[in-house]
Amino acid sequence: MSTTIAAPVKAGRTVAPVLGAISFCHLLNDMMQSLLPAVYPILKGGFNLNFGEIGLLTLVYQITASLLQPMIGLYTDKKPQPYSLPVGMGFTLSGLVMLALAPTYLMLLVGAAMLGVGSSIFHPESSRIARLASGGRHGLAQSVFQVGGNFGQSLGPLLAAFFILPHGRVSMAWFAFAALGGMGILSVLGRWYQANGHAKPPVRKAQAKTGLSAKQTKTAMAVLVLLMFSKFFYLSSITSYYIFYLIQRFGLSAPDAQVDLFIFLAASAAGVFIGGPVGDRVGRKAVIWGSILGVLPFTLALPYVGLDATIVLSVMIGLVLSSAFSAIVVYAQELTPGRVGAVSGLFFGLAFGLGGIGAAVLGELADWTSIQFVYRVCAFLPIIGLAAAFLPSRAEIAGKVG
């Protein structure tokens, strides 16, 4: 693999081995990190946690990632760090072992924070590598990169259902070997990154410009943040509490509920893969608009249907809602040329931070009311997708509209 990856980049051509390798590492990273919410039923019983304490675990993990990612991305825009990626996965490895062996709730929080640090280091530079290997097909590259992460997230519930639940929380430590493998691949990618001249400090030159004023750019970025709020608050209701919703409302066993969560996450991975290439063809604004607002009929129906319809609707929600993220990241990169790391860090950080805040808020709401009430409230979040009407078009960003 190292011989193929070390080949020089040719302008206009996608470097498929690099793109595939970074996507696979994203799969490993997010698979390991998804084990935290996947084992919430074990932690809830083993440590006698309420929903608020479960939400706090998610908040610590995701806030740690969200606060660090933009700063790391901004730093690596100025001083690229080709070998920071295996370091990030090393933090993930340590966090997993901590979660597997933690004797107290406080140590669980420490393990969750270490997972967050691992993600904060991994995502900005790995997203940059995906863009460098894209050959100009940025939406496709971001989708390939993202689908690895989303598919990795979808594996967490299956691994919890068929490996961790039967063998206990301590079995999470075995996944440290996956982290070690990922660190090896990321070290090879660091050599490719350096060998192709991408790890040199950027030469100072005139900043690339769009056709937008500073005020228009800030407004567009604010709209994207609002849309991220809608998307990730809703997704946090699924990733943190869908298992409990299925158990409480339909009487499913924990393994069966884990499988249904996998179905949702697998559909989300497919949606991510679809969104990027479609955005390359029809425009990112159209994908963002259709993804967030388009999911509204499904979210409104979900709290009021039976089990089979719930699973079908969850697939539709995963497909439609997840198609937006690749488009949002690439759209933001186009709004602010030359700041790939900072923008990637900001939006991955927002994804983690908003998801963490959502999990904590919704956990408290579930304790006060019920899980079913949480889903009735969250059903209206996609209405915020109407704000996409205020995003500039591709022609306006390029300065081709008078």
Burial class (CB in 10 A: 0-12, 13-18, 19+), 229: middle
User: At which residue do the structure tokens 């790890």 appear?
Assistant: 199
Most confident of 9-23, 41-55, 352-366: 41-55
Domain 13-398: which topology?
Answer: Growth Hormone; Chain: A; (1.20.1250)
169-211, pLDDT tens digit by residue? 899 999 999 999 999 999 999 888 877 755 555 444 444 566 6
The dihedrals phi and psi of 183, each to the nearest 5 degrees, come to -65, -35
Q: What is the mean pLDDT of residues 276-297?
A: 82
233-243, pLDDT tens digit by residue? 898 889 888 99
Run of H or E including 105 = helix 105-132
| pLDDT for residue 24 | 94
| pLDDT for residue 208 | 53
Q: Rounded CA gap, 183 and 367, in Å?
A: 40
Torsion of CA 99, 128, 233, 258, to 10 degrees: -50
pTM for the complete prediction? 0.68
15-32, pLDDT tens digit by residue? 888 888 999 999 999 899
| pLDDT for residue 106 | 94
Question: Chain-wide mean pLDDT for the chain?
Answer: 82
Burial class (CB in 10 A: 0-12, 13-18, 19+), 205: exposed
| pLDDT for residue 373 | 94
Q: What is the mean pLDDT of residues 132-153?
A: 78
Q: Is the pLDDT of residue 165 over 70?
A: yes
The per-residue b/e assignment along 248-280, b for 16 or more CB within 10 angstroms, e otherwise, is ebeebebebbbbbbbbbbbbbbbbbbbbbbbbb
Q: Is the pLDDT of residue 6 over 70?
A: no
| pLDDT for residue 5 | 45
213-272, pLDDT tens digit by residue? 778 888 888 898 888 888 888 988 898 889 999 999 999 998 899 889 889 988 888 887
The total of other beta-carbon atoms located within 10 Å of residue 218's CB is 12
Please give the structure tokens belonging to residue 369. Answer: 């009311």
User: When comparing pLDDT for 238 and 339, which is higher?
Assistant: 238
8 Å CB contact between 318 and 225: no
Alpha-carbon torsion (172, 174, 178, 179), positive or negative = positive
Which letter does DSSP use for residue 161 in this model? I
% residues pLDDT > 70 (the chain): 87
The pLDDT confidence band at residue 9, using thresholds 50, 70 and 90, is: very low
User: When comparing pLDDT for 71 and 113, which is higher?
Assistant: 113
Q: Is the pLDDT of residue 92 over 90?
A: yes
Please give the structure tokens belonging to residue 127. Answer: 């997203």
The letter for the amino acid at 33 is Q
